[in-house]
Amino acid sequence: MNWTPNPADKKPMHKQIQEYMKEKITNGEWPIGTKIPSQRHLAATFSVNRSTVVTATENLIAEGLLSGNKGGGTKVINNTWSLLAAGSHMNWSSYVEAGIYQPNSSTIRHINEAEFQRGIIRLGTGELAPDLLPSDQLSELFSGMKHRSVHLGYEHPKGNGELRQELAKHVKKRGIETSPSSILIVSGSLQALQLISIGLLPPGANILAEKPSYLYSLPLFQSAQMKITGVSLDKEGIQLSSLKNQHEKEKGTVLYTIPNFHNPTNVTMSEQRRQELLHRCEMMHLPIIEDDAYGELWFHSPPPLSLKAQDKNGMVLYLGTLSKTFSPGFRIGWVVGPEHVIERLADLKMQVDYGASSLSQWAAAEALKTGIYDNHVASVRYKLKEKSQKAQAILEKHLESLATWNVPSGGFYFWLTLHKPVSMGKLFKHCLDQGVLLNPGALYDHETSQHIRISFAYATLPEFEYGIKIVAKSLKNLYL
């Protein structure tokens, strides 16, 4: 919802809100059965006091459009048409609950909405701040479009040929020898995970993943009736002792790992651990999904070569993305793997969306070819390193008595370990009520009540300091 009432309008604010909500109901955006957002949420979205929202809602209840709030949330019970022609209305609610895909957790849905509220401080966001994105370089690139030939039709099932050629050169820097025919362009690496879940794994498959992991924040494998089994992590990456041989016997077991600047712990797997892991997986016939979303964002020296670089048996599917380095909005990622696996995934991608945006693919190829991408990433590394050091000083100032954390050598995140457990839900709400959005650790490890993922990539440093002070205050209040 981008609309807000106009305080300069003669019409009272509650009346403007009432009319806006009524319009949503009459034009079918909020059909009968829709649960409307909470009063607190609406007040924040409309930038008004809660009492203004209460008045508007009560008037709509009096008109018979909304139900009273008796613990189950306020729902649309009539639209103006159904009031006129009582009896015939479409109830979408049972359909909404019927789909096979599970909804995101309520915390994730809350975060996805709240990130767009005006004035919110985003302490958890896994995205570069707008001033770290290459807006000027891209304006220049797009303004030069009229002098070049841009393909705007559908693309090859594996994606734009020129982009795949550029990517084959690009992944060489991570030690990977491949050719364009073994690369699939996807709409973000998240889509790669989805294609893998529907195309390569049977229902009931077991996904081994570091615990904690980004993967736990996604319901996509569970929606496909698969389970995630946690493997433990130390300072050098996955602990091999937690890869039990019994997994070998389970049909469709794969290992998902984020070896570089891991989300959320920021651990980077050591060279030796990579070799041992590959060897162990070869012995176990355990395929690996290597997610290298953050590998280029090193501050001092590049991480060890990718697992894929040392994979002589085609065991590793390697995922890359432009989202963390260049532009999440491009929705461009890639998979490198054995040709027949790439062909299977490409066929599925054609069924799902018929290819990633051809304009994004063109721009990505140009950015890689002209060096715009490499220059930009070099500057992001430098700026992120500086920012991480300043952010760390802020953590030391305000949180030292409450938590410990990793010193980042790349990536986006501090993984805070709280000295004492706390209710993750209460902490999230407490901070959000004061305009600070954070990612509770429980999103990445459902069992923890002692961790928070803090990103230094998004908020400005003054915002970061303000946000961290709120986190410290909230923790102290909750510990009372």
Ligand X SMILES: Cc1ncc(COP(=O)(O)O)c(C=O)c1O
| Interface residues toward ligand X, by CB under 6 A | 126, 188-190, 214, 258, 263, 291, 293, 321, 323, 328, 333
CB of 250 to ligand X, least distance (A): 24
Select 126 or 180, whichever has its Cβ closest to ligand X: 126
CB of 438 to ligand X, least distance (A): 15
Select 39 or 358, whichever has its Cβ closest to ligand X: 358
Residue 186, strand partner residues: 333
| DSSP conformational letter for 473 | H
Residue 130: both structure tokens together: 């707008």
CB of 218 to ligand X, least distance (A): 9
Residue 271: both structure tokens together: 């060279």
Residues 6+ apart with CB under 8 A from 58: none
Residues 6+ apart with CB under 8 A from 91: 31, 32, 33
CB 452 within 8 Å of CB 438: yes
Helices (H), 203-338: 220-223, 246-249, 271-284
Select 21 or 195, whichever has its Cβ closest to ligand X: 195
CB of 129 to ligand X, least distance (A): 15
CA distance 220 to 274: 27
Residue type, 202: P
Residue 375: both structure tokens together: 């220059």
CA distance 231 to 369: 39
Closest CA to 455 of 150, 187, 124, 217: 124
What is the full DSSP assignment across 304-355?
A: SPPTGGG-SSS-EEEEEESTTTT-GGG--EEEE--HHHHHHHHHHHHHHTSS
CA distance 331 to 189: 8
Dihedral pair phi/psi, residue 124, rounded to 5°: -105, -15
CB of 266 to ligand X, least distance (A): 11
Select 214 or 221, whichever has its Cβ closest to ligand X: 214
Select 212 or 467, whichever has its Cβ closest to ligand X: 212
Residue type, 280: R
CB of 259 to ligand X, least distance (A): 10
CB of 258 to ligand X, least distance (A): 5
Give Dmax (Cα) for the chain: 75
Residue 468: both structure tokens together: 């961290």
Select 45 or 361, whichever has its Cβ closest to ligand X: 361
CB of 293 to ligand X, least distance (A): 4
Query: Nearest residue to ligand X, using CB?
Result: 188
CB of 181 to ligand X, least distance (A): 22
Select 277 or 470, whichever has its Cβ closest to ligand X: 277
CA distance 131 to 188: 21
Neighbours of 444 (CB within 10 A): 23
Select 31 or 212, whichever has its Cβ closest to ligand X: 212
CB of 410 to ligand X, least distance (A): 13
Select 127 or 166, whichever has its Cβ closest to ligand X: 127
Select 237 or 333, whichever has its Cβ closest to ligand X: 333
Helix or strand run (H / E) with residue 288? strand 288-291
